[in-house]
Amino acid sequence: MPQRYNTILETIGQTPCVKIHKLAPKHLNVFVKVEAFNPMGSVKDRLALGIIEAAERAGELKPGQTVIEATSGNTGIGLAMVCAQKGYPLVVTMVETFSVERRKLMRFLGAKVVLTPAAEKGTGMVNKAKQLAQQHGWFLTRQFENEANPDIHSLSTAAEILQHFSDIPLHYWVTGTGTGGTLKGVSRVLREKSPGTQIVVSEPDVAAQIASGIPQARNTDGSPAASHPAFKPHAMQGWTPDFIPKLVEDVMLANNIDQNIPVSNAEAMSCSQQLAQQEGIFVGISGGATFAATLKLAEKAAAGSNILCMLPDTGERYLSTPLFANVPSDMNQEELSISLSTPDFQL
């Protein structure tokens, strides 16, 4: 039957689960969930739709009201799409060090982007969003503590994963931590519906906040009071801000993390390139990081294990980052040789 959608928002979700062949050990079954198939290219499209529609149902978001959020980029891009379709003005706050592509995409979609100083880290952009929301009466989406975030992942992402593995057991599910929405929403469903599945989380090795065991200092509203002492800057944009989001802390307190695997910047970028060049799967640094953690897990997993790795976004978000630093735009020597080897011919 013809497949037609009423709006672009109906295309969010139902992303594919793809088996890895060349990069995975032969005695295991490694799959990836490719969230780049969402309309704006990342898992955060789910969050954006879930939070906005939950606010509409609750009467918290009024027609024409401005929406504001602090974001590393993907949530802002998803929100820009949702707000454009629904008719809400959008303002995002973002640390100035995040990739230029992200701010251009949001502005192209009609959003206003307010950059915050790098020295203030993620906490600074969150505080700026709160200040602007209070000052102007804008709707603050609060992605790092809003329960509508994990709720949409329980309803969509987790349900899709259970469907992917309805005929075979899922032994391990691997994810990184950003807002904590994917982690909390999926892990609680797997604990109930697939209790044999281990929840595996990965963090940057220089910002292993969960592994540190140090609690996050919080304000009375649950927001971070200051940067977490275990944080250092890292390359995984969208992963592990300088604080532990409340949604991540909820998962920690529920003991819903079975393993925690640290990953370096170099490992993340290497795996992103390997996925592109050996599997034809184009993801960003965070996707490479999650896959690097998956390969580390695979070294110890029992033969026949089924592993699912989340790949959060597309590599196109990273063209101006170190991920593409060694990819030339001009012909290299080998390409010049190919060009010069072409014999003369006449049309």
Give the burial string for 40-76 (b: 16+ CB within 10 Å, else e): bbbbbbbbbbbbbbbbeeeeebeeeebbbbbbbbbbb
Q: Which residues contact 171 (CB under 8 A, 6 or more apart)?
A: 196, 197, 198, 301, 302, 305, 306, 307
> Per the structure block, which two tokens stand in for 208?
């292993």
Largest CA distance in the chain: 77
Residue 93, judged by CB atoms within 10 A of its CB (0-12, 13-18, 19+), counts as: buried
Q: Any idea which residues carry the catalytic annotation?
A: 44, 286
Give the span between the Cα atoms of 247 and 166, in whole angstroms: 27
> Per the structure block, which two tokens stand in for 219?
């304000």
Cβ atoms of residues 230 and 203 within 8 Å: no
Give the span between the Cα atoms of 233 and 118, in whole angstroms: 10
Give the burial string for 201-238 (b: 16+ CB within 10 Å, else e): bbbbbbbbbbeeeeebebeeeebbeebbebbeebbbbb
Residue 225 backbone phi and psi in degrees, to 5: -85, -25
